[in-house]
């Protein structure tokens, strides 16, 4: 691991074990194995908790993002500019009455990685950009540690408007907003989607199992044939830093998938 990545991980609060020179792989040209857990938590975790390897594509679970999520609304025919305008003026659910700004999403329109979060918070609602608060800084650091700056990915949310007091989105709001995300997925055509947090993962995948279960496997969005990696929400990681090590494992799995599907392309 290079020293910049090591520094980023340390800034994220992830303790990294770096193999000493002279170890078994010291001259092998392999990236040194790293164990970002500074304690016995991971080794003693029950085997059933361990996520499956990404290479086991046969284990991928098909998830039903509805293929017609965009067609009945006309959203499926929109290009980027029309889609952005449509989101900006959206009145498809009552959240339009309480929002300050819509939060369309940001990043590269041909990104290999599409990050899907839950919904804008207070700061995002003010600025009109996703993940700009402390959680966003952590997300940025995690992505940078992976080799992908914010400008190399596309970041969007299930909901484009902030639910009052940051409450969980209700199902009608999710369904009203779903066609926008579905169209963003179609337009970006990412190699891999990263769903952060329970709300994003459950709603994207149409799977109500808890996050710890959803993290265990690589899913596939049925209609788009795109793998989905599920990980913790960065706001949760700020509260539970011990789980950053597991999040790092998820991100490494994501990176393997991106490399397998697109040949990589990450830059710091």
Our finding on whether 163 is near ligand URA (CB under 6 A) is no
- CA 141, 147, 151, 156 torsion-angle sign: negative
To the nearest whole angstrom, how small is the minimum distance from the Cβ of residue 119 to ligand URA?
A: 6
Q: Is 110 exposed, middle or buried (0-12, 13-18, 19+ CB in 10 A)?
A: exposed
183, 70 Cβ separation under 8 angstroms: yes
Strand 61-63 relative to strand 106-107, pairing: unpaired
Helix (H) or strand (E) holding 127: helix 122-127
The reply on whether position 157 binds ligand URA by CB under 6 A is: yes
Q: Which residues contact 148 (CB under 8 A, 6 or more apart)?
A: 112, 113, 266, 267
Q: Which is nearer to ligand URA, 101 or 252 (CB)?
A: 101
Nearer to ligand URA, 93 or 138 (CB): 138
The site string for ligand URA over 204-243 (x = CB under 6 A, - otherwise) reads -------------------------------x--------
Nearer to ligand URA, 131 or 180 (CB): 131
Contact criterion met (CB below 8 Å) for 153 and 108: yes
Contact track, ligand URA, 63-102, x by CB under 6 A: ----------------------------------------
Q: Is 118 in the site for ligand URA (CB under 6 A)?
A: yes
Using rule CB under 6 A, residue 120 touches ligand URA: yes
Residue closest to 207 by CA, chosen among 192, 193, 195:
195
Residues that bind ligand URA (CB under 6 A): 117-121, 124, 130-131, 135, 157, 235
């Amino acid at each position: 691991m290079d020293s910049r990545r090591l520094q980023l991980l340390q800034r994220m609060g992830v303790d990294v074990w770096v193999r000493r020179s002279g170890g078994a792989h010291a001259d092998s040209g392999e990236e040194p194995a790293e164990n970002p857990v500074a304690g016995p938590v991971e080794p003693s975790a029950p085997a059933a908790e361990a996520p499956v390897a990404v290479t086991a594509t046969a284990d991928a679970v098909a998830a039903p993002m509805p293929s017609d999520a965009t067609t009945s609304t006309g959203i499926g025919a929109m290009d980027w500019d029309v889609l952005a305008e449509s989101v900006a003026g959206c009145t498809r659910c009552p959240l339009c009455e309480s929002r300050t700004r819509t939060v369309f999403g940001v990043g590269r329109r041909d990104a290999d990685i599409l990050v899907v979060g839950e919904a804008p918070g207070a700061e995002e609602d003010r600025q009109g950009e996703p993940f700009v608060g402390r959680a966003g800084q952590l997300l940025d650091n995690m992505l940078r540690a992976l080799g992908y700056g914010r400008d190399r990915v596309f970041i969007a949310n299930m909901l484009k408007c902030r639910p009052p007091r940051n409450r969980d989105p209700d199902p009608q709001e999710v369904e009203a907003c779903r066609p926008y995300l579905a169209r963003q997925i179609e337009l970006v055509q990412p190699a891999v989607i990263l769903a952060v947090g329970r709300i994003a993962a459950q709603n994207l995948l149409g799977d109500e199992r808890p996050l710890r279960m959803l993290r265990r496997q690589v899913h596939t969005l049925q209609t788009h044939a795109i793998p989905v990696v599920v990980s913790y929400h960065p706001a949760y990681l700020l509260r539970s830093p011990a789980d950053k090590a597991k999040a790092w494992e998820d991100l490494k799995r994501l990176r393997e998938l991106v490399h397998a599907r697109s040949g990589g392309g990450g830059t710091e």
